[in-house]
Amino acid sequence: NANLDEIVELAKQLQSETNIKPLWGTAQLFMHPRYMHGAATSPEVKVYAYAAAQVKKALEVTHYLGGENYVFWGGREGYQTLLNTDMKRELEHLANFLQAAVNHKKKIGFNGTLLIEPKPQEPTKHQV
Q: Is residue 88 part of a domain?
A: no
Count structural domains, the chain. Answer: 1
Residue 65 lies in a domain: yes
Residue-level pLDDT at 7: 97
Q: What's the pLDDT score for residue 5?
A: 96
What's the longest Cα–Cα distance across the chain? 55
The answer to whether 91 and 128 are in contact (CB under 8 A) is yes
Domain of residue 115: give its range.
Answer: 56-69+99-119
Question: What is the per-residue pLDDT for 86?
Answer: 83
User: What residues form DSSP beta bridges with 71?
Assistant: 115
Q: What is the pLDDT of residue 98?
A: 98
Cα 96-25-56 angle, rounded to 5 deg: 40
Residue 107 in any domain: the answer is yes
Q: Residue-wise pLDDT tens for the chain (128 aa)?
A: 899 999 999 999 999 999 899 999 999 999 999 998 899 999 899 999 999 999 999 999 999 999 999 999 987 786 777 777 788 888 899 999 999 999 999 999 999 999 998 876 665 655 55
**Residue 51, domain member (yes or no):** no
- Residue 54 φ/ψ, nearest 5 degrees: -65, -45
